């Protein structure tokens, strides 16, 4: 894949060089069944790389993987529009998918693919399929807090007893759905009030990696984030040095949000058939098993595959009755964060 840069420059007439991304004309016939396909992925790269290798081995379709952070990738695809070299877009959170879907950049996912995962975790319009899931949690330092002190609801964290004890990373893409969720469950304005209270109570962190490390050190007593950050930290520092634990919010609470990663086929794909096969593969049993055993600590979404990790069983998660579509495209929460002075 890697081309010699020097060689490329030596060629001189740079305009003759085509993109490595392979957005060129289809070589696999009208259906484009043979690929190669280009996958833009904002997902955990190591897991994605495993999935890609397995897919290539099973189908013989070559996959070019472009991993980056989800926001940059989504912005990139927004600029590319119908000229995108991407065949498949994989995102960590629904808002990125919703943004691109609104621009009409996705092709509908095959019905057979959508059927593999619970409908509530897919796009209601059938444009993208949920692949894996994460639960919002409260990570807390076991030296600082006792289990009895932990709140049942997300809203409770706005209370005075949490002053100076709560950390959060408002710029993380995991945090935004919580804002949409609060308004959807408790009415408009709830989130705005809660954000103000949280800002007064809490400490702002740049990302969840920094937040979970701070919680584990005891720098802050508790932090709002997705569950897997804690597991990854435990892997890195070892169980002996893990002085924190996870707390799940009560059933149906906004804090019990289950967030999904999803994937879609680009409408502009010249290898649509191969791209659909990739989507189908992501929710197939072998792929879901890879997710179930991966170091990304996410829940597989396809029915019949259970996580092999020591996570709280997926069936025991009790998310509120909100559809992924209600989470919006991220612009609403962004504005609320700006208005609250957090951005």
Partner 1 sequence: MPGPTATPVSVPAAPLGGACRRGWRGRRTGAPGGLLLAGLGVAALSLLPIVFLVLEVRGVSLSEAHRLLFRPRIGRLLTNTLGLVAASTVLCAVVGVAAAWCVERTELPGRRVWMVLLVLPLAIPEFVSSFGWVSFLPGLRGFGGALLVTVVAYYPFVFLPVAAVLRGTNPALEEVARGMGLSGWRAFWRVTLPQLRLPVLGGGLIIALHLLAEYGAFAQLRFPTFATEIYVEYQLGFDGASAAVLSLVLVLLSLALLTAEVAARGRGRYARVGGGATRPHRRVRLGRRAAAVLGGLTLLVVLALGVPLSALVYWVLQGSSSTLPSSSVWGATVTTLEYAAAAAAVTTVLALPVALLSVRYRGAAGRGIERTTYVPRALPGVVIGLAMVSFSLRSAHGLYQTSTLLVLAYAILFLPLAIIALRGPLAQVTPRIEDVARSLGLGPVRAFLRTTFPLLRSGIGAGAGLVFLSTVTELTGTLLLRPTGTETLATRFWTYASSLSYGAAAPYAAVMVGISALPAYLLIRRVDEAGA
Which class for 228: exposed (0-12), middle (13-18), buried (19 or more C-beta within 10 A)?
A: buried
Under the binding rule (CB under 8 A), the answer on residue 17 touching partner 1 is yes
As measured in angstroms, the least distance from the Cβ of 111 to partner 1 is 28
Sites for partner 1 among residues 138-177 (CB under 8 A): 171, 173, 176
Tokens, residue 243? 């002085």
Sites for partner 1 among residues 285-314 (CB under 8 A): 295-296
Q: In this complex, which beta carbon is closest to partner 1, that of residue 150 or of residue 204?
A: 204
Answer for which of 60, 124, 161, 331 binds partner 1 (CB under 8 A) is: 331
Q: For partner 1, which stretch binds (CB under 8 A), given 14-22, 126-134, 183-191, 262-270?
A: 14-22
As measured in angstroms, the least distance from the Cβ of 131 to partner 1 is 17
Tokens, residue 103? 């621009």
Under the binding rule (CB under 8 A), the answer on residue 213 touching partner 1 is yes
- Binders of partner 1: how many residues, by CB under 8 A? 77
Under the binding rule (CB under 8 A), the answer on residue 26 touching partner 1 is no
Q: In this complex, which beta carbon is closest to partner 1, that of residue 37 or of residue 287?
A: 37
Q: In this complex, which beta carbon is closest to partner 1, that of residue 74 or of residue 191?
A: 74
d(CA 204, CA 225): 12
Under the binding rule (CB under 8 A), the answer on residue 130 touching partner 1 is no
In Å, how far are 90, 155, 301, 306, 317 from 292, measured between CA atoms? 17, 31, 9, 7, 16
| Window 176-205: contact mask with partner 1 (x via CB under 8 A) | x---------------------------xx
Buried b (16+ CB within 10 A) or exposed e, 248-285: bbeeebbbbbbbbbbbbbbbbbbbbbbbbbbbbbbbbe
As measured in angstroms, the least distance from the Cβ of 118 to partner 1 is 26
Q: In this complex, which beta carbon is closest to partner 1, that of residue 131 or of residue 302?
A: 131
d(CA 296, CA 300): 11
Q: In this complex, which beta carbon is closest to partner 1, that of residue 15 or of residue 148?
A: 15
As measured in angstroms, the least distance from the Cβ of 72 to partner 1 is 6
Under the binding rule (CB under 8 A), the answer on residue 30 touching partner 1 is no
Q: In this complex, which beta carbon is closest to partner 1, that of residue 4 or of residue 313?
A: 4
Residues 6+ apart with CB under 8 A from 247: 137, 138, 139, 140, 147, 150, 222
Sites for partner 1 among residues 232-261 (CB under 8 A): 232-233, 235-238
Sites for partner 1 among residues 42-81 (CB under 8 A): 44-46, 64-72, 74-76, 78-81
Sites for partner 1 among residues 81-120 (CB under 8 A): 81, 83, 85, 95-96, 99
């Amino acid at each position: 894949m890697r081309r010699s840069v020097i060689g490329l420059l030596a060629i001189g007439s740079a305009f003759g060089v085509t993109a490595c991304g392979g957005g060129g004309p289809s070589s696999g016939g009208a259906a484009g069944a043979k690929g190669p396909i280009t996958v833009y992925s904002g997902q955990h790269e190591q897991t994605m790389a495993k999935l890609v290798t397995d897919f290539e081995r099973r189908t013989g379709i070559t996959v070019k993987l472009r991993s980056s952070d989800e926001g940059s990738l989504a912005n990139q695809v927004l600029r590319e529009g119908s000229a995108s070299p991407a065949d498949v877009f994989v995102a960590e959170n629904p808002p990125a998918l919703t943004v691109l879907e609104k621009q009409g950049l996705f092709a509908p996912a095959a019905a057979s693919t959508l059927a593999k995962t619970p409908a509530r975790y897919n796009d209601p319009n059938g444009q993208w399929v949920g692949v894996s899931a994460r639960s919002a949690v409260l990570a807390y330092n076991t030296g600082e807090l006792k289990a009895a002190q932990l709140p049942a609801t997300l809203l409770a964290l706005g209370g005075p007893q949490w002053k100076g004890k709560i950390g959060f990373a408002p710029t993380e893409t995991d945090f935004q759905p919580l804002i949409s969720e609060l308004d959807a469950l408790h009415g408009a304005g709830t989130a705005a009030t809660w954000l103000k209270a949280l800002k007064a109570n809490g400490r702002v962190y740049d990302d969840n990696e920094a937040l979970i490390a701070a919680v584990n050190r005891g720098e802050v007593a508790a932090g709002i984030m997705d569950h897997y950050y804690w597991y990854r930290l435990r892997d890195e520092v070892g169980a002996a040095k893990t002085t924190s634990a996870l707390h799940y919010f009560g059933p149906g609470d906004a804090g019990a949000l289950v967030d999904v990663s999803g994937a879609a086929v680009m409408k502009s794909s010249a290898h649509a058939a191969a791209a659909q096969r990739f989507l189908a593969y992501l929710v197939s049993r072998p792929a879901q098993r890879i997710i179930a055993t991966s170091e990304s600590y996410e829940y597989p979404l396809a029915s019949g595959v259970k996580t092999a990790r020591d996570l709280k069983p997926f069936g025991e998660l009790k998310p509120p009755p909100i559809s992924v579509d209600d989470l919006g495209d991220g612009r609403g929460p962004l504005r609320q964060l700006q208005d609250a002075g957090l951005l």
